[in-house]
Structure 1
């Protein structure tokens, strides 16, 4: 009997090992990042031991968005079920509808592959949970959407491209659109459940994000080109451990930021090229009561070795920053001569935001002409919201500990402009070797600043 039990045990062990050998396995790679603050090691997925799933094997047909979309989603489900896998987009142009990630999946675009996303809003229904300009709601699905996923990636030398026929028309903000934004503001401000904030109707026209990682962990984007976007281009929201590297992002529509880390932590953006109609990087942390209750700041964010060809700012902080923003490091970046740019660093907030900003570092930056100046900090930036809705709850934003060093531009209006409230001055701003060949106006324009030093 003992011999039989021993033989059965050995047989079961061999079967288990054989089963495991045939399974895909996602491992993790640790990325160490040096910063002027304690920066945790970032953990990203490694799919080198995982099986590949070509969308052609699941019925994808060039030019047929229904078959291709079904094939992509089937391949994602198969890769997830296998415990990890790489969904391969072969060379050629593949028209598709929305893509929804599952955990342990790498979407890989081969060289010469183009995923072309439909312009039909119906292809991004049903509505999903996301945010729109800092407020959680249900809206059109992002073109690529991941919700509560772990170990996900988008890699390769191919291109993600959005057809813009309809979204371009939606860039306008007519009265019906603004009324929908007002409704969302009131729903959020008066603590209505997110499920009641349904923003898809005939007139709201709240454009979808291109890529949103919503409440995800261990995210990698590496190598791909992204062309056009209905709204924000890459949006990690309430996500941790994010590496975005070797990307080429081009989007010149309305609100076309390159990357918007929002209430996200341990983020590295490196070796990317940004050509934007809005900010290259815009670090955010939500609006009002939603963000105040979540208590999740954007934290530990490093941008390095990037090139900006156009953008409103190299880096913007806010204005949606109610959850707080801390530990940001921008290093060794270049803004090309001839770029359209307002500031290198612009920190903006208003009396409705609350939150806080601290420990912001920018070093080793070169830039051509800047329309405004190198550093801007303003605490009364409301844009169209100033007269659109009233302030329901007033909370000011403490801003302190901002460090700029070794920064050079060719032509600016000012080096620094800091406009703060008398009741809550900005504190501790230090500039060292921050210069411009030509300063057309006053070098420093300051209201309500405590402890400013420039060397």
Structure 2
């Protein structure tokens, strides 16, 4: 099967949910469009009424609405009209009770994501309005390192990871109040048939759009902006059949990061990220444009990134693959085609098995069949940088019909077996493995 046919087959499996023609205006349930009063209960009531009616659309009209945690229900669309905004509470207590979620690839019970769904199907978050998580240097973000006199997440993070390594039952991994693990913004968990379209997402406490263990996900025309710590844009984790298209990213971490669980917990669940299409997006600031990992212990396969534009001196890498022998995982069939990089800071193509812990574990990562074609790039430190293990070299790396200009170092290849370069130009020099 050709790559285009494989991609088209994946797209045919992804359908956008359709909702009954029933509308539930949140102001009719008491929501305050002036932004003065808390509207959590009223917005949730509109969602619940739509659900109980057999499906429909809960609508936020023009105005500012203040809210705590919201939960989407099956067959319900939450529509944020142009000129409408939800400003989410900066009080952690407004994200209780705890829910089943993941923190950096590990399951636990923690503060609810700002917008959450669990085992729902046919759900949507749409409209030209704004979702503002209100993370800032005084709220949520200081928990990363304990700045501004606030506690750090370090103790809780270490405790969670240690629980996972000991296989402590998830029911006993209870955090939330009195703990300091930040929630993510939008998280459907074990859901099917999801649409997130046109909304603007700002300033999440942590990862911004984070579907977990979901199938059939469309993220279309979303603007994701946030420069706090770990404010990744879209992170499909252990998801199948996903399309991310026509989005704008300007983030404090990876723009898009494909994940599948961390270490022992990722291997316990053992569900890969697969059949993910990333096309026609614009990426500004971030650690990576299209990133695979590092929480990738469940593996990944069939990633298509095509027609994306990356342009920022604060974008570290264009294509980034990161794992190690603590994470493990099989990473294969990653296709990076017809992408344009107008500026960036570090590596254009980076495959890194020395990420964080390096070769300190017993779970050999496998990275194979990475194809880059028709890439045009300007700027950066490295053109292609691969740091792999001698006991697990990268195989099937192929870079063709591409032009990489303005890099300080054309290539650093550590443990790459039989790479294929064809009509590849770096800083004007041709690299053609068939002629070597």
* TM-score (structure 2 length as normaliser): 0.91
Could you tell me how far apart the structure 2 residues matched to 1:125 and 1:324 are? 32
Could you tell me how far apart the structure 1 residues matched to 2:418 and 2:263 are? 29
Could you tell me how far apart the structure 2 residues matched to 1:58 and 1:37 are? 43
Determine the structure 1 residue equivalent to 2:85: 114
Deviation per CA, 1:73-103: give whole Å up to 9, x if none.
Answer: 1111111111111000010111111101111
Could you tell me how far apart the structure 1 residues matched to 2:37 and 2:52 are? 23
Residues 415, 434 of structure 1: 8 Å contact kept: no
Of 43, 52, 70, the residue aligned with 2:15 is 43
Q: 1:209-288, aligned counterparts within 5 Å? A: 209-288=184-263
* TM-score (structure 1 length as normaliser): 0.87
Of stretches 230-239 and 310-319 in structure 1, the one that deviates more from structure 2 is 310-319
Could you tell me how far apart the structure 2 residues matched to 1:211 and 1:123 are? 15
Extract unaligned runs of 5+ from structure 1. Answer: 1-32
Number of positions where the alignment pairs a residue of Structure 1 with one of Structure 2: 413
Could you tell me how far apart the structure 1 residues matched to 2:107 and 2:47 are? 26
Per the alignment, do residues 64 and 412 of structure 1 end up closer, same or farther by CA in structure 2, a change over 3 Å counting? closer
Within the alignment, does 1:167 sit opposite 2:140 as a pair? yes
Residues 144, 154 of structure 2: 8 Å contact kept: no
Of 412, 422, 433, the residue aligned with 2:401 is 433
Extract unaligned runs of 5+ from structure 2. Answer: 423-436
Determine the structure 2 residue equivalent to 1:416: 384
Per the alignment, do residues 341 and 325 of structure 1 end up closer, same or farther by CA in structure 2, a change over 3 Å counting? same
Of stretches 236-245 and 167-176 in structure 1, the one that deviates more from structure 2 is 167-176
Instruction: Give the match's secondary structure for 1:46.
Output: coil
Of stretches 282-291 and 211-220 in structure 1, the one that deviates more from structure 2 is 282-291
Could you tell me how far apart the structure 1 residues matched to 2:29 and 2:5 are? 43
CA RMSD in angstroms comes to: 1.8
Determine the structure 2 residue equivalent to 1:350: 324
Residues 90, 109 of structure 1: 8 Å contact kept: yes
Deviation per CA, 1:183-213: give whole Å up to 9, x if none.
Answer: 11111111111111112243x3111101111
Of 281, 294, 299, the residue aligned with 1:324 is 299
Could you tell me how far apart the structure 1 residues matched to 2:98 and 2:283 are? 33
Residues 213, 239 of structure 1: 8 Å contact kept: yes
Within the alignment, does 1:54 sit opposite 2:25 as a pair? yes
Determine the structure 1 residue equivalent to 2:123: 152
Of 333, 341, 347, the residue aligned with 1:373 is 347
Cα deviation, residue 66, structure 1 = 6.2
Cα deviation, residue 37, structure 1 = 7.9
Could you tell me how far apart the structure 2 residues matched to 1:272 and 1:320 are? 23
Deviation per CA, 1:371-398: give whole Å up to 9, x if none.
Answer: 112110111211xx67xxx96x620110
Instruction: Give the match's secondary structure for 2:377.
Output: strand
Residues 230, 256 of structure 1: 8 Å contact kept: yes
